[in-house]
Amino acid sequence: MRVAGIIANPASGKDIRRLVAYGTVFDNLEKVNIAKRILLGLDAVGVEKTVYMPDYYGIVPRALEGLRKEIDMRVEPVDIELTGTQVDSCRAAEVMARQGVGCIVVLGGDGTNRVVAKGSADTPLLSVSTGTNNVFPEMVEGTIAGMAAGVIARGRYASGAVKVAKKLVIRKNGVDVDIGLVDAVVVDGNFVGSRAMWEIKPLLQAVVTRAKAHNIGIASIAGNLMPVETYEPRGMRIVFDPGREDMLAPIAPGLILPVGIKEYGYIGPGEPVRLPDANCIIALDGEREVEVHCGDVVEIVLSVNGPHVVDIEATLAGAVEQRRARKTNA
């Protein structure tokens, strides 16, 4: 059966950076509208069934209201116990991967996609931007996202339609404890507090998988130093200097701050970046996640074996070429 999945995070686009910066609140009603167009796109290209992550707002069930007569495919929730936390996204991705879902559409920002990638195994992800810092997901119309995801779910896509992204592996005392998709930032401090990160002064160092000057967040800092292409086999390490002001960088929507740089340079796959022996926090894709204490041996390692990601343009262009070929051969 041709099956697709949808994971829509009701909490994305609503963190504290909406208060300390000037980001637009991405409300759940808009996510419902996007999900509705995704469902229509999936159905239009022949997906027979779509499963989705249940959530406290009911994004996909609300999207289904009024669509029952317009779509033929079955739409069902995956069976998980809701916690109302990011754990739900990871568990839903794990279930979808085990069930053989052909493609998972993710509605969220960098943080949501990081959690989904922890559970999705090799299932291709198509990420629709509905978060705060959106370096990993794309700004794409929901209809197009649904159609592209449907092509992938059907398994008839051309070579190059699905690419393998990079990731950062956090290794603590010899054990892999977490991952980042865009950046891992070492922050001075002893406790997590607010997970979202928006300040510059506490930053000690960072490792990024990708970096362009037009990005937002830590990736924008790296992109203004030396760009790192999305799929090239290298990343970048930065050491910050709070006593300097070498550049201005957009750390969050509307929040442009001076940043001091002590040193920076490219790193290759498997090359570990060792953290100093001190109390600190590692923020992953904009959210403080991993606590480090004196005596811990912690490394950040770049890997080229990250989540599988749908190239929307290549997917739809390939589908057009395949259709032309079939007509020519008919």
Residue-wise pLDDT tens digits, 298-313: 999 999 999 999 999 9
Phi, psi torsion values for 66, nearest 5 degrees: 85, -5
**Using the 8-state DSSP alphabet, how is residue 165 labeled?**
P
Largest separation between any pair of C-alpha atoms in the chain: 69
Give residue-wise pLDDT tens across range 239-279: 999 899 999 988 877 888 899 999 999 999 999 999 989 99
Place of tokens 């469902």: 39
Question: Scanning the structure block, which residue is given the tokens 């998972």?
Answer: 104
SS3 115: helix
- Domain range annotation of the chain: 3-165+307-329, 167-303
**Residue 22 pLDDT:** 58
Q: Choose among 216, 219, 256: nearest CA to 236.
A: 219
DSSP string, 220-248: HHHHHHS-B-SSSS-EEEEEE-TT---EE
The predicted model scores a pTM of 0.92
Highest mean pLDDT among 42-51, 152-161, 250-259: 42-51
Judge contact between 167 and 306, C-beta under 8 A. Answer: yes
323-328 mean pLDDT = 83
Q: What is the pLDDT of residues 173-196, one digit of tens each?
A: 999 999 999 999 999 876 555 555
User: Average pLDDT of 121-149?
Assistant: 91
CATH of region 3-165+307-329: 3.40.50.10330
pLDDT of 80 above 50: yes
In this structure, what DSSP letter does residue 58 have? Answer: -
Which CATH number is correct for 167-303, 2.60.120, 1.10.1200, 3.90.1070, 2.60.200?
Answer: 2.60.200
214 by DSSP, 3-state: which? Answer: coil
With H, G, I as helix, E, B as strand and everything else as coil, classify residue 110: helix
